[in-house]
Amino acid sequence: MIVLGIDPGYERLGISVIEKTPSSASLGTSKPKLVFSECFKTSPKDEHAERLSQIHIEIERILNKYKPSHLGIETLFFNANVKTAMKVAESRGVILALAKKHGLTVVELSPQEIKIAVTGYGNSDKKAVIKMIPLLIDLNKKSIMLDDEYDAIGVGLCVLTHN
């Protein structure tokens, strides 16, 4: 099973591709493997439509390269900044439309569901999530710098627990 996990945004988008194979269990490991991850960035200097187009192109590239069967995407968390929330919602729309186009099973997850799957506690902070990720997945010696990437890995791991 190959899962595309996304922490949606329009300036920074966390993306992960995680693979869980039946053969990993027979080899004595139950850890899924991180195949790819990144924090995809768009420039605030670009107009919003251009930024959405860049997100479309990057997600389509990843879908074509890794051929996931499932998409996990974090639900929108509304805060006081409605303008930001609307732009993130538009980014989610681009991603969901691509998932449908490529025939993916979509799993939408709340931040609390993701934290429970990764740490066992729905109100965990970022530090707890970052600490748990390397214990739950083979990161293939990849160094991860930004929270968005960790969040996307957490989304992908959560999808694996649902299937």
Catalytic site residue 148? yes
Per-residue three-class SS string for 42-57: CCCCCCHHHHHHHHHH
From 38, 113, 148, 149, active-site residue: 148
Give yes or no: 50 in active site: no
Angle at 67 between CA 42 and CA 74, to 5 degrees: 50
Burial 24-57 (b: 16+ CB within 10 A, else e): eeeeeeeebbbbebbbbbbeeeeeeeebbebbee
Q: What angle do CA 47, 86, 7 make, to 5 degrees?
A: 90
**Identified catalytic residue from 7, 38, 113, 151:** 7
Q: Which of 74, 113, 149, 151 is catalytic?
A: 74
Confirm whether 7 is a catalytic residue: yes
Between the alpha carbon of residue 139 and those of residues 11, 95, 149, the distances in Å are 24, 24, 12
Residue type, 68: P
As a whole number of angstroms, the distance between CA 106 and CA 142 comes to 26
Cite the active site residues.
Answer: 7, 74, 148
